[in-house]
Amino acid sequence: MGDAQDEIEAAGGDLVVIGNGAAHFAKAFREDLDFRGTLLVDPELRAYRVAGLRRGRVEVLSPRLGWNALRALGKGHRQGAIEGDPWQLGGALVIRPGGDLAFRHVSTVAGDHADPEELIAALEPGLVPLPEGEGGSALASVARPLGRLVDPLVPLSFSRPGYAIRAAGFDPDDLVVDLGEQRWLVTGANSGIGFETALALADLGAEVELLCRNPERGAEAAERIADSTGNRRVRAHVLDVSSLADVAQVAEQLIDRPVDGIVHNAGVLPDDLIESADGLELTWATHVAGPHLLTRLLRPALEAAPAARVIFVSSGGMYTRGLETRDPDWQRRRYDGVLAYAETKRAQVVLAELWAEAFAETGVTCNSMHPGWAETPSVESSLPRFHRVTKPFLRTPAEGADTVVWLAASPAAAGETGRFFFDRRAVGTHWLLGTRESASERAWLWERCEKLAAPFVVVPSD
Amino acid sequence: MRLSSRLADLVLSDDRGEDVRLGDLWRERAAVLVFVRHFG
């Protein structure tokens, strides 16, 4: 350690070591290695996340670990007890006065260290700094127009190849963020896109509240997320979003502290007409009335956060339907679950726009998105034939959740409001004639939601 | 936003328990930040 420090100092730099264990282990590290530079502890992994360093079991358990460990042992190194997050990988940065980034190494497997010679060479005066904030590689510049080209080809665009083409154009730095100060709520978080969203937000350091209908599955999902991210600030609450009384009860438990975001993800696709506890058609209750009430009741907690974000997880199926205002509860039509699903997903897109207007004078933003065709337990159970035919081409749940996570966490999405997103881009909301709603139909949606919410909204007395 | 700007305002404790603002580390000289997997 001493030699490396001498070389770095001679080249005009200061060595700073950041570890994720506790201070007493850092002291032992200083003594054992005779380290005289700055030694920092980051138990919450905040700097690790901002630096874009990776973690994960697969990488840590790579076969290369064994090889590197053997080489280290051959040189006389012995690893003691592990302190800190064992799944966190390391890396190195060289930052010059003025903030130019001269070197960046992100470990991809345990024992994958930065090359000391390259690191010291980065201290050379006059070296050109690394490019930053240019949105990635040459591949990205090809992927972006190609992504737009496949837009009209729905089976290609909505499926896995469409995601792969557009993902090549994503800026990898968009999700290099630390959500350690944030608290997020995700409905329907025990499986599919909701689970992947909650997992990704927890991995970025957020406190995550999972709102799930089934208590056992919710608790199990919270445990899995906590175990695989090392983030213990993950809790499950029981919530049936289709029940307004249930929503009001859970909102009361959650309003004690600021909420930095809500992901309205819970969804249903029943075969038959089912009436909710409040006498509404079940998909309308789950996708529209419940999310509206949750947003309405938690509005003070959202406005108390610095810049909260509300996200509705809609569906590409919404393109096929307009806003249904005449018979939203299927009292005068023969019930069709797929059409009811599409209608309520259209209603979510409109509702997100209306909430964006309602939040206009606040720091809160509201958007909707669609995940494309993703392989989730609900697609498999609700649309078995579609699932069977399209299975090889369906996106993974994590790919389906990507735009939700981007809208929730990325600085690139900050300030976006009232828009509809797909694969990290704002896209149009109407493809077919006759699906565009009028101003009075939009007003009807807001009024119906507000009327349903009214019994649960406490008006403060003067 | 540059990576250094995003890191600059983070405050971490050193091994003596003193707060250190990361941006202060590269104010006058280059900083070589080495993130270790863990201490031990």
Highest-confidence segment of A40-54, A60-74, A333-347, A421-435: A333-347
B17-40 pLDDT, tens digit per residue, is 999 999 999 999 999 998 887 665
The pLDDT value recorded for residue A33 is 81
Per CB-CB distance under 8 Å, the chain A contacts of B30 are: 12-14, 94-97, 102, 123
The pLDDT value recorded for residue A461 is 58
Confidence band, pLDDT 50/70/90 cuts, at residue A292: very high
Containing structural domain, residue B30: 1-40
Chain B contacts in chain A segment 377-416 (CB below 8 A): 411
DSSP state letter for A459: P
Do A356 and A417 form a contact (C-beta atoms < 8 A)?
yes
Task: Name which of A84-98, A245-259, A311-325, A384-398 the model is least confident about.
Answer: A84-98
pLDDT for residue A79 is more than 50? no
Nearest to A5 by CA among A15, A18, A16: A15
Confidence band, pLDDT 50/70/90 cuts, at residue A1: low
A105 vs A237, more confident:
A237
Q: What is the mean pLDDT of residues A8-19?
A: 90
* Cross-strand partners of B19: B13
Active site residue A319: no
The pLDDT value recorded for residue A89 is 74
Which of A93, A117, A118, A176 best probes binding to B when mutated, by most B CB atoms within 10 angstroms?
A: A93
Task: Name which of A101-105, A272-276, A367-371 the model is least confident about.
Answer: A101-105
Give the Å distances, CA to CA, from A461 to A300, A302, A358, A458. 16, 21, 22, 9
Q: What is the mean pLDDT of residues A192-197?
A: 96
d(CA A118, CA A96): 15
The pLDDT value recorded for residue A21 is 76
Do A263 and A309 form a contact (C-beta atoms < 8 A)?
no
Q: What percent of chain A is modeled with pLDDT above 90? A: 57
DSSP state letter for A35: -
pLDDT for residue A383 is more than 60? yes
Confidence band, pLDDT 50/70/90 cuts, at residue A212: very high
Long-range contacts of the stretch A37-43 (C-beta < 8 A, 24+):
A37/A5, A38/A14, A38/B14, A38/B20, A38/B25, A39/B14, A39/B15, A40/A16, A40/B12, A40/B13, A40/B14, A40/B15, A40/B20, A41/B12, A41/B13, A41/B14, A41/B15, A42/A18, A42/B12, A43/A84
Give the Å distances, CA to CA, from A311 to A150, A253, A303, A307, A417. 25, 21, 15, 13, 10
Instruction: Looking at the complex, report in whole angstroms how far the Cα of residue A459 sits from the nearest Cα belonging to chain B.
Output: 40
pLDDT for residue A82 is more than 80? no
Nearest to A54 by CA among A102, A110, A130: A110
CA count, 13 A, side-chain hemisphere, A424: 24
Confidence band, pLDDT 50/70/90 cuts, at residue A109: low
Partner-chain contact B12 A47, CB within 8 Å: yes
Residue A13, helix vs strand vs coil: strand
Q: What would the DSSP string read from start to end of A154-210?
A: HHHHHSHHHHHHHHTTS-GGGG----TT-EEEEETTTSHHHHHHHHHHHHTT-EEEE
DSSP state letter for A280: S
The pLDDT value recorded for residue A189 is 98
Task: Count the domains in chain B.
Answer: 1
Confidence band, pLDDT 50/70/90 cuts, at residue A53: confident
Per CB-CB distance under 8 Å, the chain A contacts of B1 are: 133, 411
Q: Which two tokens stand for residue A428?
A: 């149009």
The pLDDT value recorded for residue A85 is 60
Which of A29, A77, A95 best probes binding to B when mutated, by most B CB atoms within 10 angstroms?
A: A95
Give the Å distances, CA to CA, from A267 to A282, A398, A442. 10, 17, 22
Average pLDDT, chain A: 86
The pLDDT value recorded for residue A58 is 40
DSSP state letter for A253: H
DSSP state letter for A114: P
Q: What is the mean pLDDT of residues A159-167?
A: 87
pLDDT for residue A72 is more than 90? no
Neighbours of A189 (CB within 10 A): 33
Task: Name which of A21-25, A201-205, A322-326, B12-16 the model is least confident about.
Answer: A21-25
d(CA A380, CA A269): 11
* Cross-strand partners of A40: A18, B14
* Cross-strand partners of B21: B11
Highest-confidence segment of A83-87, A110-114, B20-24: B20-24
Domains of chain A (ranges, CATH numbers): 2-121 (no CATH), 171-456 (3.40.50.720)
Confidence band, pLDDT 50/70/90 cuts, at residue A65: very low
Confidence band, pLDDT 50/70/90 cuts, at residue A431: confident
Neighbours of A430 (CB within 10 A): 15
Nearest 5°: phi and psi at A430?
Answer: -135, 125
The pLDDT value recorded for residue A460 is 63
pLDDT for residue A12 is more than 50? yes
The pLDDT value recorded for residue A2 is 63
- Chain position carrying tokens 């139909």: A441
Answer whether B32 touches A (CB < 8 Å). Answer: yes
d(CA A357, CA A350): 11
ipTM of predicted complex: 0.96
The pLDDT value recorded for residue A381 is 79
Answer whether A130 touches B (CB < 8 Å). Answer: no
d(CA A171, CA B3): 13
Please name the residues in contact with B24: beta carbons below 8 A apart, sequence gap of 6 or more.
none
- The alpha carbon of A236 is separated from its chain's Cα centroid by a whole number of angstroms, namely 17
Highest-confidence segment of A35-49, A152-166, A397-411: A397-411
d(CA A345, CA A363): 25
